[in-house]
Amino acid sequence: MPVATTRITVNAKTYQLPTQATVIVCVDGCEPDYLAQAVATGHMPWLKGALARGTGLVADCVVPSFTNPNNLSIVTGVPPSVHGICGNYLYDTATNTEVMMNDPKWLRAPTILAALADAGKSVAVVTAKDKLRALLGHHMKGICFSSEKADQATVETNGITDVVQLVGKPVPSVYSADLSEFVFAAGVRLMQVHKPDVMYLSTTDYIQHKHAPGTAGANAFYTMMDGYLGQLDAMGCVIALTADHGMNPKVAMDGTPDVVYLQDWFDAWLGAAAARVILPITDPYVVHHGALGSFATVYLPQACDVAAACAKLQAVKGMEVVLTREQAAERFELPADRIGDLVVVSERFTVIGTSKSRHDLSALEVPLRSHGGISEQRVPLIVNRSLPGLDTARRFRNFDAFELALNYAQ
């Protein structure tokens, strides 16, 4: 009789199999100050206790500080240089097209979730938007569905059906805080009914794009979250909470978005469409940010001097750092073959657009808040357990969440 496996190795990192129900939560756009302000003003009683009893760290997310690269980093335990997902959107040089990066064909590494399932653990994944579902659930046996398409979940595709009945809530609008509440509500019901060994919950940043830390709109969201996490804690779960990225206001003093239109800038310099500016924040759901974030990649015409382009662009106001492909691949641990000749990061209050005519900002109901840059790299990494033996002086990443939950908290 074979000895039961007690650990797995995924992407060259070793994880203990869980002995307690373990929940990893990725709170989209959760700048740590959201938690700080909410806890300070009594809006998160569970978290206040969890931080006192457990472990509260601040970690660095992956740059570009976008949803897809960071969710995939968390579930693979490694940066985009290994797993390949370096944006929500990319320019596919093989086909000369710009495409969404939601298809698992772009994924170059197995997930910890799939490996846990293969090792015999029951796994459940709930994500707010369906765009992430296929990537998170790639090659994974178990439950995997989105709030957005909860009513369409089938046993064959999602490992579960009748989700709406299970959760007892209607399918929410894709532009709502309810989309995230559905994730938490589903997580609690799954833990009550299906009792998965490992659960991954991933929300959407609808609220964070609209409401600053400490405001009523933000505090209401975090109070909601606090209640559900308290329920999971009361069931005995190990909970590790992190975020895909932070969030900052991105407006000039006149209240309008502070945008550098980079395609227009290159067109004026090199001629129309000579360079190709890619905004990896681009996704089908742009109403709350108008596809404006603090990160862009640029494909330059062959004759263009890359170093000269770097220097010229660095001098533009609002640019935090401009790197060559090689520099960016090294500094941000990105796949060099998918990021263009230049990587451009704008400052905390500035976003990058393509051409002015291509961004419809009419849907922005409140002053722009967005992400993508180094200024949104700080994220929480909180575990509701003390973590004996952990070197707290090391640099933490959001993609250490599984390591902390499985190797230190059990």
CB of 34 to a second copy, least distance (A): 9
Cβ atoms within 10 A of the Cβ of 127, count?
A: 28
Q: CB nearer to a second copy: give 227 or 249.
A: 249
> What minimum distance in Å lies between the beta carbon of 155 and a second copy?
39
In the complex with a second copy, the residue whose CB is nearer, 204 or 375, is: 375
Asked whether the CA dihedral 221, 59, 371, 285 is positive or negative, the reply is negative
∠ CA 170-175-181 to the nearest 5 degrees? 50
Question: Nearest distance from residue 251's CB to a second copy, in Å?
Answer: 4
Site residues, a second copy (CB under 8 A) = 32-33, 35-37, 39-41, 47-48, 51-52, 56, 58, 212-215, 249, 251-256, 315, 317, 349, 366-367, 378, 380, 382, 393
Q: How far apart are CA 263 and CA 275, in angstroms?
A: 7
* Strand ranges (E), 266-341: 276-278, 295-299, 319-324
Pick from 375, 328, 369, 320: nearest CA to 345? 320
Q: Which two tokens stand for residue 164?
A: 């709406």
Q: Which two tokens stand for residue 397?
A: 């990443």
The distance of closest approach from Cβ of residue 248 to a second copy in the complex, given in angstroms and rounded to an integer, is 9
**82 vs 366, beta carbon nearer a second copy:** 366
Residue with the two structure tokens 């939560």: 25
Pairing of the two strands 198-202 and 22-26: parallel
Least distance in angstroms from the C-beta of 377 to a second copy: 11
Minimum CB–partner distance for residue 215 and a second copy (Å)? 7
Which is closer to a second copy, CB of 59 or CB of 237? 59
CB nearer to a second copy: pick between 147 and 375: 375
Nearer to a second copy, 156 or 254 (CB): 254
Dihedral angle at the C-alpha atoms of 379, 173, 291, 74, nearest 10 degrees?
30
Q: Which residues contact 342 (CB under 8 A, 6 or more apart)?
A: 297, 298, 300, 306, 309, 310, 313, 322, 323, 324, 325, 328
